[in-house]
Structure formats: C-alpha cells, structure tokens
Structure 1
Amino acid sequence: MARPSFLSMRDESAVLRLSIATTLLIATGGVLFGLFSGSFSIIFDGVYSLVDASMSALALAVVRLITSHAVDVDLPRKWRERFTMGFWHLEPMVLALNGTLLVAVTVYALINAITSLLGGGHALHFGPALVYAVMTVSVCAAMALLEVRANRRIRSDFLRLDIKSWIMSAGITAALLIAFGAGYAIEGTAWASYTPYIDPAALAFVCVVIMPIPLAEIRQALLDMLLVAPADLKAQVDAIAVKFVERYAFQYHRAYVAKVGRSREIELYFVVPPEMPAKRLAEWDAIRDEIGRAIGGDEAHRWLTIMFTCDPEWAE
C-alpha cells in the first residue's frame, strides 16, 4: 500500500503533519511581525502557535503508537509485551497537557496585558500588524475548513482539538485585525491618544475569550483518564445487552464502560441460570460474536470483554 503524501488529507498523521508545518510557519511569522510592529498581542499569537505546534508534534507521535498497536504493525516486540493493553491512555494525557500549557500561556499574556494597560499602553506600528492579521486569518480559516472536511471521515479527537485550535486562532487574529484597523483609522485624529491602549486591550480581550476552550479540553481529558463512563455509551451497551438477556433467557447483565481517547473499553457480564442446558464453547463464542456485531464501532479501537457466569459475584 502506498504511503500517504505529506499533503494528503485522508490520513490522520498526514493531516497533523500539514497542521504542524503550517502552525510553525505562522508562529515564526507572528514572533517576527510582533517584534517589528511592537505588538505584544501578535507575539502572544506566535508563542501560542508554537506551543500548539509542539503539542501537535507530540500528538502525532502518540497517533503513530496507537495506530501501530491497533493494526499490529511497525511496533517493537518489547513495546508490545510491555504495553499489552495498547497506548490509548496516552491520548487524554496529551490533550490534558496541551490544554494546561495553553491555559498557562493565556494567563501569562492576560497578566501582561493588564499590566500594560495600567502602565499607559505602548506604541504600535499598525501597518505591519495589519498585514500579519490579514494573512494569518486567511491561513487559519483555510486550515480549519480542510481539517473539518477530512475529519468527517477520520473522526479523530486529536483532529477535533486541532480544528478548534485553528478556529480559535482565526478568531484571535480576526479580533486583532479589527483592533488594528480601528487603531490605524484613528491615527492623526482627536482619538489618537487612545492608540497605545489598543494592543494591550485587544490582547486582554482575546485571552478572556479563548480561556474556556482549553479548559473544556482539560475537563474532557480528565474524564477519560478517570474512566468516567460516558452516559451515551453506557445506555447503548445496556440496551443491546437487555435484548440478549431476553433472547437467550439469561437472568440479567452488568455492563462496565469507559472512553479513553479514541478507544471504547467495554466489559459485559451475563448471569446465566444454573439450570440452563450446557453449550459448547463454539456456541458461546458465536453469541459473543453476535453481541460484538450489535455493539459495532471501530473494532481496532474497541476493547470488548464478554463473560458468561452462573455466579453473580463475577458480575459485580
């Protein structure tokens, strides 16, 4: 099979590689334009992008590990023996780390913005700042659109987070574009004394607006790491298990579910009446296959255990 090209949007790793390269380009431009124009908000935008790119690179490494284990290729035997339950648990860890770093950068920038406002602001060259804002908004919007289209098929949590990052970056830069445009418009007018406050005010506004986004990602990652059962998955598994309890005259079932990154971990216990006629192992396996097909989902990222017992203690 041919390897996906760098610009391919059909593979999760290829999409992340393109995103990382684009983010690094924007981040470098942000820092350079920020220093040249004297804009702390543009420098923040660049630093924010650098953090995002570094986390995307880490995410790419995790994606390769998860995929290699799921499809049983390109993974050293020693690693496979040490991580017998896969690498899905790394995904929420990376998402939590990403969110935490972005929150830290945002809080630091907000403190600097408030300090600058209280100190009377600072001068800003609006021309270069406007050029940067227009270019960055265009690139961010294009990347978000491309990834949305790609993730309709791929359905990746990493790409979902990356899409949010691109939308967030576009929103940040659009706000800066409006602020810089207003500052450029009032230069040389009676309102010119307010221009030193535009950059720190824009930075403070952007920080307040984007803060909830990484916080939401941290919350979801913590739910995954704590193995909190998703209500929709639990309801789906229970509904399917009840049908099999009725069909095969079992006594009852117990379901234990969790979502860890892209994986779904499901344990199903069916309590069988002691007087039920014995079945051959092949018959029990056929019932397991039937239940697995009913649950569905991506089998490469599903950990499914189905047990039949006459002893209720095994199910509790």
Structure 2
Amino acid sequence: MTPISQLFDLTDERGVLRTSIAATSLIAVLGIGFGLYSGSFSIVFDGVYSLIDAGMSLLSLMAVNLITAYAHSKGLSRKLRERFSMGFWHLEPLILGLNGTLLISAALYALVTAVGSLLAGGRELQFGWAMSYAAVTLAICLVVAVVEARANRKIRSDFVRLDVQGWVMSACITSALLLAFIVGDALQGTRWQWLTPYIDPAVLAVVCLVILPLPVKVVRKALGEILLITPPELKAHVDKVAREFVNKHGFLYHRAYVAQVGRSKEVELFFIVPADSPPRTIAQWDALREEVGELIGDEGPDRWLTILFTADPEWAE
C-alpha cells in the first residue's frame, strides 16, 4: 500500500475522515471563489459552510487519533496519558456539539442576510459560472457520500455517520442551487427577467430554513452525553443483568451508574453482599467480575466497566 493510499484508506475511520477533509476543502475553495466571481452569496455561503465542515472534520480526526492511541496504548506520550487518565472519549460529543452549533449559527446569519438582500431588491449574478460550480459540486458531494456510507457499514463510526449526513445535506443544498440557477438563466431575456435578481437570495433563504433544524438533533445528543444523561436502553440492560446476577449468587441488591460519552460506554456496578457472607479469595471475586462483564457484553477498548462488591451500602450510594 502506497503512502497516499494509506493516508486515504477507506477501511479506516481516520482515512475516511482525511478523504472527507480533502474533498470538503476543495469545495470550500471552489465555492468561495466561484461565489465571489459570479456574485452569488448562496454559493459563498455554501463555500463557508464547507469550510466550517472541513475544520470540524479536522478536529474529529484529531480526536479519533487521540481516542485510538489511548485505547490501544500506542503513539501517545506519557505526559498526555498522565494528564488524561480517563481517556479522550469526552472529546467526541464536545466536537459534535460545537460542529452543530457553528452550522446553526452560520445558517442563521445567512438567513438574515438573504432576507435583507430580498428587501433591498436582490442581486445580479452570472448564471453560467454559478451553474458550472453547482454541477461540479453536486457530483463531488454524491460520490463522497456514497463512498463514505459504504465504508461506514463496517467502521460504524458516529463521526463518519455525521459526515455522511453532512455530504447528503450538501448535495441537497447544491441541487437546489443548480435548479434555481437553471431557472434564472432560462428567465433571461424574457418578460420575467425582473425576477432574476431575487433568485439567489430567495434560494439561500429556503436552503437555510431547510438545514437549520438538521444539526439540532446532533447538538441535543451531544449535550446529553456532555451532561452524562443516563441512556435508558443501556441502563435497562445493565439493571437486568445485575438483577439476575444478584438472584443467582444470593446478594442483597445492586446499584448501577451508567453513561455514554461518544463511543464509550461507562458502567459502574455496586453489589451489596450480606455481611455474614462466607469469605472468598481475590481470584473468586475476579471470577464474579468476569462473569458480569461477559453478561453485559460490548467488551473492548471503548467500554469502561467498574464492578465493586461491598457489605456497606454507603459505598454504593
């Protein structure tokens, strides 16, 4: 495998994100350049939107590198490992939340600008250049979205899944731009030509209204993970496993504390043991922990599982 193919390896999460960053950066440069030349603020917005997306993808790539290095105990300096002894999983919801917030802010600003332009009489633009940009960008968006979606069937990454959604969103935006520019070009030289200055701000306003709600779900999910809100399905699964384990081994009850932060599942389980329970060796307690771990499942570098046995309920509260 050549250095270039390794860098953009589509079987690896980091390779997919690098591919996305390269494609997004290309679209951002094309969008801002074509938008300024043709006089289309909707194209400039598309370029700026892509630039924000590229920046967030770069941050995502950095977070993935840190998470992977920590999980596999390689490529991470001792100083970083000592300062972040709990790992880097918390970076994932922080970046996703920041990404969604920036995209919402950009869309709101563009919407206000578009409304202001409509009230001011619109703006003239060169439809030929605008259509060329929209056609090229649409082709790039569709190709990257399909390639990433196929790659993520095996990778199963939230970062890549969000990135695919971003490319699909970009393809929809660009399709709307292309259609609007085709209509505007067709109106040139007709009695409806007076409408052409309004086409660019009008389509920008519509696009902003469509994409504004899309990042909200991502921001809400990220905020829930940052605040360590207990995921109901995971909590129900852990409680079911713990109750069965308590009944099987004659313990009194359990307490479970569960959170999901990015790709990590964090579980703390306390089992209250009768004070007069017969003594067990360390190996026997470890065997019980192993049994619980197997029942909970999802063993791997992204599972943080703590299991404690105590006769004092205060340790579990």
- TM-score using structure 2 length: 0.96
CA distance in 2, matches of 1:158, 1:75: 21
Residues 1:138 and 2:124 are matched in the alignment: no
Distance 1:168 1:251 in 2: 52
Map of 1:186 onto structure 2: 187
* 1:117 maps to amino acid: L
After superposition, the Cα gap between the structure-2 partners of 1:298 and 1:189, relative to the gap in structure 1 and judged at 3 Å, is farther
Displacement of 1:203 in angstroms is 0.3
Name the aligned partner's letter for residue 178 of structure 2.
L
Matched residue, 1:265 = 266
Q: What does 1:267-306 correspond to in 2, within 5 Å?
A: 267-306=268-307
Give the Cα separation in 1 of the matches to 2:38 and 2:106: 21
Distance in structure 1 (CA, Å) of the matches to 2:36 and 2:108: 21
- Structure 1 unpaired stretches of 5+: none
Tell me the equivalent position of 2:111: 110
| Letter of the 1:9 counterpart | L
Q: Which moved more, 1:19-28 or 1:208-217?
A: 208-217
Q: Distance in 2 between matches of 1:17 and 1:235?
A: 37
Cα distance, 1:2 vs. partner? 9.8
CA deviation map 1:267-290 (0-9, x unaligned): 011111222222111111111111
What is the deviation of 1:247?
A: 1.4
Distance in 2 separating the partners of 1:238 and 1:187: 67
Give yes or no for the alignment of 1:99 onto 2:71.
Answer: no
RMSD: 1.5
114-123 or 103-112: which moved more?
Answer: 103-112
How far apart, CA to CA, are the structure 2 residues paired with 1:142 and 1:208?
25
Shift of 1:90: 1.2
Alignment partners' CA distance in 1, 2:174 and 2:80: 43
Tell me the CA shift for residue 179 of structure 1.
1.1
> How far apart are the structure 2 equivalents of 1:209 and 1:194?
22
Structure-1 separation of matches of 2:117 and 2:108? 14
Fraction of identical pairs, as percent: 57
Deviation at 1:245, TM superposition (A): 1.2
| Counterpart code for 2:103 | L
Structure 1: distance between partners of 2:275 and 2:165:
53
Q: Match of 2:309?
A: 308
Q: Which moved more, 1:81-90 or 1:270-279?
A: 270-279
Q: Which residue of 2 aligns with 1:244?
A: 245
Letter in 1 for 2:259: A
**Contact preservation (8 Å) 2:293, 2:299:** no
Which residue of 1 is the match for residue 29 of structure 2?
28
Amino acid at match of 2:266: E
Change (3 A) 1:247 1:28: same
Instruction: Report if aligned partners of 2:27, 2:47 keep a CA contact under 8 Å in 1.
Output: yes
Q: 1:48 to 1:65 in 2, by over 3 A?
A: same
Superposed CA offset, 1:63-112 (max 9, x none): 11111011000111111111110111111111111112111211111111
Residue matched to 2:209:
208
Q: After superposition, give the CA deviation of every residue in 1:205-245 in whole Å (9 maximum; x if it has no partner).
A: 11111111222221111111100011111111111111211
- Displacement of 1:37 in angstroms is 1.5
Mean Cα deviation higher: 91-100 or 223-232: 91-100
Deviation, structure 1 residue 200: 0.2
Output the amino acid matched with 1:134: A
Q: Which amino acid aligns with 2:210?
A: V
The answer to whether structure 1 residue 119 and structure 2 residue 120 are counterparts is yes
Secondary structure at 1:113's aligned position in 2? helix
User: Shift of the alpha carbon at 1:6?
Assistant: 2.3
- Cα distance, 1:15 vs. partner? 0.6
1:44, distance to aligned residue in structure 2 (A): 0.3
Aligned residue pairs total 316
Counterpart residue identity of residue 252, structure 1: Y
Runs ≥4 in structure 1, deviation > 4 angstroms?
Answer: 1-4
Aligned to 2:49: 48
1:59-78 matches, within 5 Å, as 59-78=60-79
Shift of 1:298: 4.7
Matched with 2:156 is 155
Cα distance in 2 for residues equivalent to 1:155 and 1:238: 26
**Cα separation, 1, equivalents of 2:250 and 2:138:** 61
Counterpart Cα distance in 1 of 2:296 and 2:173: 41
Q: CA deviation at 1:120?
A: 0.7
Distance of 2:259 and 2:203 partners within structure 1: 41
The aligned amino acid for 1:262 is R
Letter paired with 1:277: P
